[in-house]
Amino acid sequence: MANGVVSAVGRVVGGELADRVGRRPTVLGAVGWRVAMFLGLALLVASDGPVWGIAVVFLAVRITGALAMSAITAMVADVAGAGRRMEAYGLFRVGSNVGWAAGPALGGYMALFWPYWTLFAATALITAVAFVLLVRHAREPGRERGVAEPIRAFWDVLADRRFLAFVGISLLVFMVAGQLVSTLSVFIVDRLGLSEAQFGGLLTLNGLLVVLFQYPLARAAARFPRGRILAVGSILYGLGYFAFGWLHAYPALLGAMTAVTFGEMLYAPNALGVAADLAPPSRRGRYLGAFGLAETLGWALGAFVGGVLLDAFPAAPVGIWGTVAGLGFVAAAGFSLWDRWQPRCQPDPRLPVPGPCPATPSQEAGSEPTTPPCAPD
């Protein structure tokens, strides 16, 4: 619970800092402190430090990661521009999945030969290398800087009804996605009696597919309407998880994971691109922080709901995965309706929602579109 809370707070605060002080300073500050926190974990574990101290430093590691993530996603949106954001976020996910796969493999290998504290020391070293690369190569994108508004100005996001609807529908998808490392692992190993290595094979397939197909799929999908891609991704999520309820041979489980992964690859970069596009440039960090908050809450709620379903349907796997699939199908219907919700123009710059509004001079000149002063009906 504490992990989820600090991550959620970190995503929101990171977005605010990215708008107020800049993307680059926020990322560098968060990653720099993350190096220090990993070194602290290494020292505490090596010296048999108190459990509460290890827990506190671990939470600090989590919040620094969340702070950096909101600023990084805003920086990617700024650098890529409106026309290539889905492609850029697809490439970003490829790198993230390579790290996600390589980290546990390297850690498991090191744990065979070295003391446990060396894993945290090695993580600090790798993070320090990333920090140096960021110092050398990360540049603050040219953009409109957010004004020093009071922190309550975050609630302006709630006045953007179209964005709020998008985040609410996305919360359902994140609840579905949250089954991957919680409910599914218990179901595969405890309910179906498969080995942990076989479950690891499913996760390996997920990561491999993302590395191989995420970027070309994101490029291809960018040609289609965003709402339609979000809906198709949600449907594939639902179909894949529903298949876990009635196809229990291992090859069939691999097929179900393939469907889940393609749903993930269609939804994830596209959703980030939509969140960035709905935001005014000076508040993009705030909007992406709010979207990150929904992601964190969705994964936490998904794990909770999955546990409840495992208890409620001990001998009926279709009940578990049919309910999870239903969330994906409801999200697909929601995105289809959301895509038809067109804003109307009105002179209210606090509610910048893209829509069929007259083009601004910058749009006509071919530069990145500035969000017209529209508000949803």
348, pLDDT greater than 50 = no
Say if 163 falls within a structural domain: yes
Cβ-contact 61, 19 below 8 angstroms: no
Cβ-contact 16, 285 below 8 angstroms: yes
Which helix (H) or strand (E) segment holds residue 375: the answer is strand 374-375
Say if 368 falls within a structural domain: no
Say if 358 falls within a structural domain: no
* Percent of the chain whose pLDDT exceeds 70: 86
Say if 56 falls within a structural domain: yes
Specify the higher pLDDT residue, 353 or 5: 5
User: For the whole model, what pTM was predicted?
Assistant: 0.84
Tokens of 201: 């094979």
Single-letter amino acid, residue 172: L
Single-letter amino acid, residue 163: F
Looking at residue 346, its pLDDT comes to: 41
Cross-strand partners of 295: none
Say if 310 falls within a structural domain: yes
Cβ-contact 288, 26 below 8 angstroms: no
The strand pair at 374-375 and 344-345 is best described as: antiparallel
- How many structural domains comprise the chain? 1
Structure confidence by residue, pLDDT tens digits, 39-68? 999 999 999 999 999 999 999 999 999 999
Specify the higher pLDDT residue, 281 or 121: 121
Residue 142 binned pLDDT confidence (cut-offs 50, 70, 90): low
Report the distance separating Cα 61 and Cα 59, nearest Å. 5
Assign residue 105 a region: left if phi > 0, alpha if psi is -120 to 50, beta otherwise? alpha
State the maximum Cα–Cα separation within the chain, in Å, rounded to a whole number. 65
Looking at residue 125, its pLDDT comes to: 97
**Domain range for 262:** 2-137+158-340
Say if 363 falls within a structural domain: no
CATH of the domain at 116: 1.20.1250.20
Residue with tokens 């699939």: 325
Q: Average pLDDT of 206-233?
A: 94
Report the distance separating Cα 136 and Cα 106, nearest Å. 26
Residue closest to 233 by CA, chosen among 204, 274, 203, 280: 274
Say if 366 falls within a structural domain: no
369, pLDDT greater than 50 = no
Say if 354 falls within a structural domain: no
Structure confidence by residue, pLDDT tens digits, 173-216? 999 999 998 899 999 999 999 998 899 999 999 999 999 999 99
Looking at residue 82, its pLDDT comes to: 80
